[in-house]
């Protein structure tokens, strides 16, 4: 297929790829049938939406998309045991993973229980000392002092630790890929159990917890009682869905859309404190959740106190929430500093091996286990390949991986564990964790590369940039952005539309800070448009556009509303450019 606008190598080193002729025809048919703008029709056509379904897709309703909780195995049993503990005022412990999904899952349960007059014990393992998931010692200790342990965002592969909790019932609410056998828990609710249909495999753990609370509410109503307002808890589900990079399809779209509305009401003190410390000055969006709030919640589990994020999300005291949010903000700054050093070394190592391999990986002594996952994400973005980054402490390495669409990394990691090449490993399609012995590193990565190749890893162009079509500056209006937003929310599995402004003249260019660039451009006759290019001076884009010399450029990026001192204007978030 010919490169879009014949751009084989842009300033960012990318090959531009536009819509196929088939997609163009589908978008035109959508526009004719619905009267929607062509850019919106293209966004819908890309997602396989038929013209007759466009109206419903643009206004997703949770009542229409919410699955029946009982469609998940063990759900009725889990909710019934949970309610029995509440009714009998039994001692409940929540064992949560240390990331955003685990923290929000725990906060959902703590909030619900608090409204029912029940306090719960929160336990989050230390990433370095204990590692991911339940361990024998912690579970045995919790079982001695509690009647019910609810494991959230973890536990599906924890056969030994669940067996160690002899004196308590264990309920697991998870979404990580299951093995052929399950732990001997009272209930294991997980859409990624091997005996599940897979229809709900895209749910994060917080969504599974939410469905359990829906089922608990149903059982309460059947008994003539009323439970807490679950719709008010969708802000937590939205945060988890975006931050855990769950695909924004099906009910996940409704979770995020409705959750953002709830979050905008600023009723949850923990999220308010988090938004304020992140200096959010506009209504929350998926970008805010994924890049401002999520990293701060994660920071405690990465480089600080593991339970800090979950405690903030569950907090109902404004002053305590503010203090915790400020501490997480500090830890996030520390995390960025640690990450920068690891990223530079990992990128150099990966580039030396080659970024066009089916698997991109790097490993070294002393890399902080709290940042290897983020660095793996950076490698994945740079190479468009599944990536693994491992930090060794002596002979034992702990690593994290991130995948690309269509490649199930979690299943491959689980296969390696079963084959004895890894000491421990698991995850889901897009992300996984592992523990490996130093003498097994090379064989494990070679075998993983082989498994991922069979799934098609390495076939896509590392430098391809997908584009949705051409726009003129005059068409980039707030009304168009509002219409495009209706086809969202955008994120994992549903990327935001990316458009090209062709043959543009740059009329203004100014460096912002050391790395960023702000420009204004137009076609020379009509309206002009502002653009911001973050990190432009990390590569050739910044210098080329700043010193444009009157030359014309093709400019590619995503449209957004810029809010400055209460005033909204349209701007392009510039991602790439090419000489015209």
Confidence of residue 128 (pLDDT cuts 50, 70, 90): confident
Contact, 314 vs 112, CB < 8 A? Answer: no
**b/e sequence 72-107, b meaning 16+ C-beta within 10 Å:** bbbbbebbebbbebbeeeebbbbbbbbbbbbbbbbb
Contact, 388 vs 436, CB < 8 A? Answer: no
Report how far residue 108's alpha carbon sits from residue 173's, in angstroms, rounded to the nearest whole number.
Answer: 12
Which pairing describes strands 499-512 and 552-564: parallel, antiparallel, or unpaired? Answer: antiparallel
Contact, 580 vs 552, CB < 8 A? Answer: yes
Mean pLDDT of the chain: 95
- pLDDT at residue 131 in the model: 86
- pLDDT above 90: residue 492: no
- pLDDT at residue 216 in the model: 98
- pLDDT at residue 460 in the model: 64
Tens-digit pLDDT profile for residues 501-525: 999 999 999 999 999 999 999 999 9
- pLDDT above 80: residue 454: yes
What stretch of H or E contains 44?
helix 38-46
Report how far residue 304's alpha carbon sits from residue 298's, in angstroms, rounded to the nearest whole number.
Answer: 9
Tokens of 147: 């009647």
Q: Mean pLDDT check: name the lowest of 135-149, 208-222, 487-501.
A: 487-501
Which are the contacts of 484, defined by CB distance < 8 A and separation ≥ 6? 39, 40, 43, 496, 497, 559
Report how far residue 423's alpha carbon sits from residue 378's, in angstroms, rounded to the nearest whole number.
Answer: 25
Confidence of residue 461 (pLDDT cuts 50, 70, 90): low
CA atoms within 13 A on the CB side of 184: 8
Quick one: what percent of the chain has pLDDT higher than 70? 99
Contact, 79 vs 215, CB < 8 A? Answer: yes
Tens-digit pLDDT profile for residues 249-292: 999 999 999 999 999 999 999 999 999 999 998 899 999 999 99
Confidence of residue 407 (pLDDT cuts 50, 70, 90): very high
Quick one: what percent of the chain has pLDDT higher than 90? 90
- pLDDT at residue 462 in the model: 53
Tens-digit pLDDT profile for residues 7-23: 999 999 889 999 999 99
- pLDDT above 60: residue 469: yes
Confidence of residue 405 (pLDDT cuts 50, 70, 90): confident
Contact, 196 vs 228, CB < 8 A? Answer: no
Report the predicted TM-score, pTM, of the whole model to 2 decimal places.
0.91
- pLDDT above 70: residue 463: no
């Amino acid at each position: 297929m010919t490169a879009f606008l014949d751009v084989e190598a842009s300033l960012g080193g990318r090959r531009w790829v536009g819509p196929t002729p088939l997609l163009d025809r589908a978008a035109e048919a959508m526009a004719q049938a619905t009267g929607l703008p062509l850019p919106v029709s293209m966004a819908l056509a890309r997602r396989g939406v038929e013209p007759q379904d466009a109206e419903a897709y643009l206004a997703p309703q949770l009542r229409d998309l919410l699955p029946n909780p009982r469609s998940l195995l063990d759900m009725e049993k889990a909710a019934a045991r949970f309610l029995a503990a509440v009714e009998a005022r039994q001692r409940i412990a929540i064992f949560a993973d240390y990331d955003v999904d685990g923290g929000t899952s725990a906060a959902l349960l703590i909030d619900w229980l608090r409204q029912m007059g029940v306090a719960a014990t929160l336990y989050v393992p230390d990433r370095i000392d204990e590692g991911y998931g339940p361990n024998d010692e912690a579970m045995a200790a919790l079982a001695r002092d509690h009647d019910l342990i609810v494991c959230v965002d973890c536990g599906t592969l924890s056969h030994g630790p669940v067996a160690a909790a002899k004196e308590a019932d264990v309920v697991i609410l998870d979404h990580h890929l299951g093995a052929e056998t399950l732990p001997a828990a009272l209930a294991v609710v997980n859409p990624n159990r091997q005996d599940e249909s897979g229809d709900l495999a895209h749910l994060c753990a917080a969504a599974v917890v939410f469905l359990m609370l829906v089922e608990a509410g149903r059982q309460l109503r059947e008994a003539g009682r009323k439970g807490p307002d679950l719709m008010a808890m969708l802000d937590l589900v939205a945060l988890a869905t975006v931050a855990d990079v769950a695909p924004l399809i099906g009910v996940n779209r409704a979770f995020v859309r409705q959750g953002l509305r709830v979050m905008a009401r600023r009723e949850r003190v923990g999220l308010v404190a988090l938004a304020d410390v992140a200096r959010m000055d506009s209504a929350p969006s998926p970008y805010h959740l994924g890049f401002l709030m999520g990293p701060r919640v994660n920071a405690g589990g990465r480089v600080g106190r593991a339970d800090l994020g979950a405690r903030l999300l569950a907090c109902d005291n404004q002053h305590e929430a503010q203090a915790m949010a400020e501490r997480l903000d500090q830890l996030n700054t520390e995390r960025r500093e640690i990450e920068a050093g690891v990223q530079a070394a990992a990128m150099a190592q990966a580039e030396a091996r080659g970024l066009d391999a089916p698997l991109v990986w790097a490993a070294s002594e002393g890399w902080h286990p709290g940042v290897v996952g983020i660095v793996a994400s950076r490698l994945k973005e740079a190479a468009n390949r599944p990536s693994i980054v491992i930090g060794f402490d002596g002979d034992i390495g702990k690593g994290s991986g991130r995948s690309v669409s269509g490649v199930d990394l979690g299943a491959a990691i689980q296969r390696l564990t079963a084959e004895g090449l890894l000491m421990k490993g698991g995850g889901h399609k897009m992300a996984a964790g592992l523990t490996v012995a130093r003498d097994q590193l090379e064989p494990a990565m070679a075998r993983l590369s082989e498994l991922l190749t069979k799934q098609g890893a390495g076939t896509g162009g590392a430098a391809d940039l997908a584009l949705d079509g051409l726009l003129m500056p005059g068409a980039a209006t707030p009304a168009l952005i509002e219409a495009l937003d209706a086809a969202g929310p955008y994120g994992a599995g549903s990327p935001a539309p990316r458009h090209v402004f062709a043959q543009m003249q740059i009329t203004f260019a100014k460096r912002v800070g050391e790395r960023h660039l702000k420009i204004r451009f137009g076609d020379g006759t009509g309206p002009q448009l502002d653009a911001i290019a973050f990190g432009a001076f990390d590569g050739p884009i910044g210098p080329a556009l700043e010193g444009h010399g009157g030359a014309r450029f093709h400019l590619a990026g995503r449209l957004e509303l810029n809010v400055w001192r209460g005033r909204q204007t349209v701007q392009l978030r510039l991602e790439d450019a090419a000489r015209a």
